[in-house]
Amino acid sequence: MVTRTIVLLAFALALVSSQALAASVRNSPVNVGTRGVSSIASAAARVPPGVPSDDSIRDTGREQKHDAMMQKLVSDLRARHSAQASLAPLTLPRVAGLRLGEDESGFGFKGLSNLDQANVNMGFSVEPPDQALCVGNGYVFEGVNSAFAVYSETGRLVAGPAQANAFFGVPFSLNVSDPKCIYDAPSNRWFVTMIEYDNFFSDNHIKIAVSQTGDPTGSFLIYDIDVTNDGSDFIPGGADCPCLGDQPLIGADANGFYVSTNAFGFFSYEGAQIYALSKAALARGATVVPAVRAVRPPWCSRSPARSSSRAPRSGSSARERSI
């Protein structure tokens, strides 16, 4: 009898908690700003803007020491390997009877390395790399915490490596992290995101790059969402913000492009923030993008699920799911 009472009590609490959670979901409009046009090629050609400021974690002495280490590594590698060997594609190991893909023609190739990051970031690189990888339309787009590159579907480098700050138009004294990307076939667009923040987490943004064609070596339009105070509506008075929109996760369907973040204040977690943006507006390069933000405390890591992105049939419902 005691066990049954406990089970019934737990069920009642779960029901009340679910209803309270649903009631806690709040929506608000989002201001999505445009920040100009960029490309991997233009970012790769751009020289980083001078020496980092004294208050930057990108300390000049550390960069010089790191750069010297990288140059020695390059010298040692060149002494041991020929240039041709270092550029040779890597192949996946074959196991008898184990199929790779549909026709066992799978292969591998060298992606962005710690050296590639350092070479485009004044000797500075970030570990772990937090890789972003997406494939489509005959291309492979790769991002790490401080660099981007584009490859052909056979692994040939066609653009980059490029500095992530330069690609998003972010000053080198500021920090970018957590890259994500997807190729959306129905809109024939590439979507790339990162977070931007200063050393005090007092000014925090989500950067969104949307290709203007299906070619990721071409132009991207850069969008910006200020997330500094997103999460302040979880704690009364918003005393715990400014908040960092950490680890943005992305997805898309027929109607929208979706970003989910974990909002962290100075002392506590502020819940998942879910941003829904008009995919059609982003795809056509609109300067005004309809968008809304939903707050889901105390949930975290709400990963937007990707659908086929095809328009729903007349009379049917369509919604983006998160997992």
pLDDT in tens, 109-123: 888 888 888 888 887
- In a domain, residue 206? The reply is yes
Cα 280 from Cα 258, distance rounded (Å): 12
Q: What is the pLDDT of residue 22?
A: 42
Q: What is the pLDDT of residue 236?
A: 58
- In a domain, residue 281? The reply is yes
- In a domain, residue 14? The reply is no
- Output the six-digit token pair for 293: 């933000």
Domain of residue 204, residue span: 25-49+61-84+112-296
Q: What is the pLDDT of residue 212?
A: 96
Residue 74's CB is within 10 A of a number of other CB atoms, namely 14
Q: What is the pLDDT of residue 19?
A: 38
Instruction: Collect the ranges in the chain with pLDDT lower than 50.
Output: 1-23, 48-60, 102, 104, 309, 311-323
Q: What is the pLDDT of residue 37?
A: 94
- In a domain, residue 218? The reply is yes
User: How many domains, in total, are found in the chain?
Assistant: 1
- In a domain, residue 17? The reply is no
Q: What is the pLDDT of residue 263?
A: 86
Residue-wise pLDDT for 258-311, tens only, equals 999 988 887 778 778 889 999 999 999 999 899 988 876 556 666 676 665 454
The answer to whether residues 250 and 191 touch, using CB atoms and an 8 Å cutoff, is yes
Q: What is the pLDDT of residue 309?
A: 47
Q: Tell me which residue of 295, 259, 262 sits closest to 278, measured CA to CA.
A: 259
- In a domain, residue 13? The reply is no
3-state secondary structure of 239: coil
- In a domain, residue 186? The reply is yes
- In a domain, residue 317? The reply is no
Residue 140's φ and ψ, nearest 5 degrees, are -125, 125
* Surface-to-core class of residue 61, CB atoms within 10 Å of its CB (0-12 exposed, 13-18 middle, 19+ buried): exposed
Cα 51 from Cα 167, distance rounded (Å): 18
